[in-house]
Structure 1
Amino acid sequence: MESRISIISIIVEDTSVASEINELLHQFGGYIIGRMGIPCKERGISIICVVLEAPGDVVSSLSGKIGMISGVSTKTVTSKSK
């Protein structure tokens, strides 16, 4: 399967689960090009953007695992070009 560039946007409403998210990101670290975290203290949430170069099944796996964590929402965008 061909790799594409994807972005996973993550909103963390329960910051106590940060270690679970970081562990998953570490497991998929070989595919991660970069990541940016933005704490939004006034709302009590954190926003994370992760850019990957990976096959679709890898991106879906990571996004799905992160999205199953309570208090976390994800959305993924993938490039059309291969």
Structure 2
Amino acid sequence: MLKKPFPVLQSKEGLEWLYQCIVKAMEEVEKTEEIVGIEPTGHYWLNLAYFLDEKGIPLVMTNPMHVKRSKELDNNLPTKAL
């Protein structure tokens, strides 16, 4: 299941909220395993990585440049070459 990006508060409550969202999504699609993917920004991803590791949830990081280029490939709007 893919989700659009959304903010997560950098607090225990914010991370617990995210965990509950993950559990709910797993129940909705009847899955028992999950992988969380993020675009790391600065040091903000570290707390999330430690939290998910404690919960046994694998985390993968994507290169922001690859995500940007992938979006450009999916975009059907005409573009101008520079």
TM over 0.5: no
* TM-score normalised to structure 1 length: 0.33
Q: Which has the higher strand share?
A: 1
The higher-RCO structure (CA 8 Å, 6+ apart) is 1
User: Looking at CA atoms only, which structure, 1 or 2, has the larger radius of gyration?
Assistant: 2
Q: Which has the higher helix share?
A: 2
* TM-score normalised to structure 2 length: 0.33
